[in-house]
Amino acid sequence: MQQGLRRVAVIGCVALASVGSAIGCGSSFTCARKGMCPNDPTPTSADIAACQSEEAGACGAQFLAARECVHNTPVCNAAGITADGGSDPCNAEVEALTRCCVNNRSAAGCSTF
């Protein structure tokens, strides 16, 4: 689960959520959007493509829910980037994503769970 959460954070907060999906904070969030921590990297075209593929896959709704949560409640580490590891406000979403991926190992983005 730790590696799966890291993927959500890196692609979730760094760039995740499907194109055109609404997200909190009064802004729209897309796979191309930079994370909320001050030093989060700008997503690459490969990050964006992976994000879009994951959200179109069997666990897409769960990826989106986890990414929206991470984006709306960012946990930044001392370096100013999205922290690896558990984010208490998003535990339910990450657990739902993990359950989906465990049951759908071949789904886009689920091989790391």
Euclidean distance between the first and final Cα of the chain, in Å? 6
pTM of the model: 0.71
Predicted local distance difference test score (pLDDT) of residue 23: 34
> Highest-confidence range of 2-16, 18-32, 44-58, 67-81, by mean pLDDT?
44-58
Residue 8 — pLDDT band, cuts 50, 70, 90?
Answer: low
18 neighbors 55 (Cβ within 8 angstroms): yes
Neighbours of 1 (CB within 10 A): 16
Between 104 and 14, the higher pLDDT residue: 104
Question: For residue range 84-98, what is the model confidence (pLDDT) as tens digits?
Answer: 655 578 889 999 999
